[in-house]
A and B are shown apart, each in its own frame.
Chain A
């Protein structure tokens, strides 16, 4: 998604920031900085992973294809995480489609280099393993969330997660895209978004969505949003 206001966008990746200074510098030196565009498909499900990505102000969505055009987003990686975990498992292919959802820069590293580094640097292994734990917790949360929570709660959660990774309360989005991400019909999104708008939590005009009341939106979201944040800070702090 195109950020409407390119506010304070971080040039750093929080996962790499966990490493000791020397290792961090080495990692960054071995990466190249790339610009990711909204809608870029980094890998298709089943495709070989050429590079792992450490988003700095971009973010990448992991989607499970459902046959036809239908999909479901199951994970989102921004500057708090990385894309390319299968490489850390010693597996060269991606089980999901990786789609750029928030445009901007990312650091990327050749998959072979990453595999070598993770075997060589225990601090990197430990840090990535912790991130795997976070991703797995999020997946568990998503599985439950999909089963039990209402579209409105899920939409609120998704908007909060996206705003966190976009580092902005305003972003461009279509109802169609939201329906695609949340795996629901478009009309369901329209209803849920109107309800949030009626309560003055968000505004949505001509494709531009703004979060007006973050606290209120958090209250409208299911607890899954909070749980994800708590897990991350528990694991990394």
Chain B
């Protein structure tokens, strides 16, 4: 990462802008200091330290910097799209949680105690084979929620959920989620629309797994990931990517090498930075576009929030 100061750009809205200055502040009544060594073969270079303060601590007029940097449930587009009454009902049950790279949020077939609304992290849903091999079937970032099987009457999740990009999420007790869902109001409506978007993503991934090359899949995967981050940079090991794509590590190394050589990405010590997004879109299979369009169509507030909050230029400018 340029300027490699040990900060974590993928979580810029939380960690990056703090720079540690707020850590000792007396208002940080529930500050959490967090040191994490990424487990998945990243080595010591991915040791990072970050500190964040819960939103409540800043309610009495924090400085502008802190306000933009503090975790806010509304960084999750589903929570942001809830009408005020629903949001307030849920707000007091929401807790910030730190999501570490490689952390298993749910194991396939296990009961669900919480659902997670990612704000700055990305969670990958994986299909797990009897042999232990896995392949990603969907990614969930700040546009979605992890644990939707809960309100479908499945008390367990059919997939494994693993943190693919470290950051924060808000979690909600399963019981609260179920109660609110069964009221049949705005939350139910939103969750159902999101479920349809997720189903589309899964179906497209099933197709992609069958038909497309590792090169194309890597492009799709990178695009889906950076859409869910505030900076076009991912902290990741090739081994984890290989697990996500269900291919051998060498396949990922080779594909990433090609992209780097073409000047589309830079890859250094676990940090992947997208340098040329239009080319990445050109090189990806159509699956990215299908998923992206369908998500925008089903969750129109999602793209609106995305443009507003990150100030990204409209996509596909190159085409």
**Minimum Cβ distance to chain A for residue B286 (Å):** 7
A229 beta carbon closer than 8 Å to chain B: no
A235 beta carbon closer than 8 Å to chain B: yes
Report the stretch among A6-14, A50-58, A135-143 that lies at the interface: A135-143
Q: How far is the CA of A70 from the CA of B207 in the complex (A)?
A: 10
Residues of A within 8 A of B128 (CB): 144
**Minimum Cβ distance to chain A for residue B302 (Å):** 14
Residues of A within 8 A of B207 (CB): 64, 66, 72, 74, 146, 183
Output the nearest chain B residue to A128 by Cβ-Cβ distance: B152
The B199-218 residues at the A interface (CB cut-off 8 A) are 199-200, 202-207, 209-211
27 contacts between A and B (CB under 8 A): A62-B203, A70-B211, A72-B207, A72-B211, A74-B203, A74-B207, A89-B196, A90-B192, A95-B200, A95-B294, A119-B184, A132-B195, A133-B149, A133-B152, A133-B153, A136-B158, A136-B202, A140-B159, A143-B202, A143-B205, A144-B127, A146-B210, A147-B210, A148-B135, A183-B207, A223-B130, A235-B153
Q: How many residues of B contact A (CB 8 A)?
A: 38
User: Contact partner of B298 among A72, A88, A91, CB < 8 A?
Assistant: A91
Q: How far is the CA of A95 from the CA of B294 in the complex (A)?
A: 8
- In the A-B complex, the 3 residue pairs with the closest CB atoms: A144-B127, A133-B152, A143-B206
Question: Are B206 and A64 closer than 8 Å at their CB atoms?
Answer: yes
B154 beta carbon closer than 8 Å to chain A: yes
Q: Which residues of A contact B (CB under 8 A)?
A: 62, 64, 66-67, 70, 72, 74-75, 85-86, 88-91, 95-96, 119, 122, 125-126, 129-130, 132-133, 135-137, 139-144, 146-148, 183, 223, 231, 235
Question: Are A231 and B203 closer than 8 Å at their CB atoms?
Answer: no
Question: Are A129 and B135 closer than 8 Å at their CB atoms?
Answer: no
Q: Give the interface SS of chain B, mostly helix, strand, loop or mixed.
A: helix
B97 beta carbon closer than 8 Å to chain A: no
Output the nearest chain B residue to A149 by Cβ-Cβ distance: B129
Question: Are A67 and B152 closer than 8 Å at their CB atoms?
Answer: no
Q: How far is the CA of A158 from the CA of B192 in the complex (A)?
A: 29
Q: How far is the CA of A64 from the CA of B286 in the complex (A)?
A: 12
Please encode chain B, from 229 to 242, with 1 for each CB lying within 8 Å of some chain A CB and 0 for all others.
00000000000000
Contact status of A89 and B192, CB under 8 A, knowing A129-B152, A140-B159: yes
Q: A72-B211, A122-B182 are known; give 6 further A-B pairs, CB within 8 A.
A: A95-B294, A119-B184, A133-B152, A143-B205, A147-B127, A183-B211
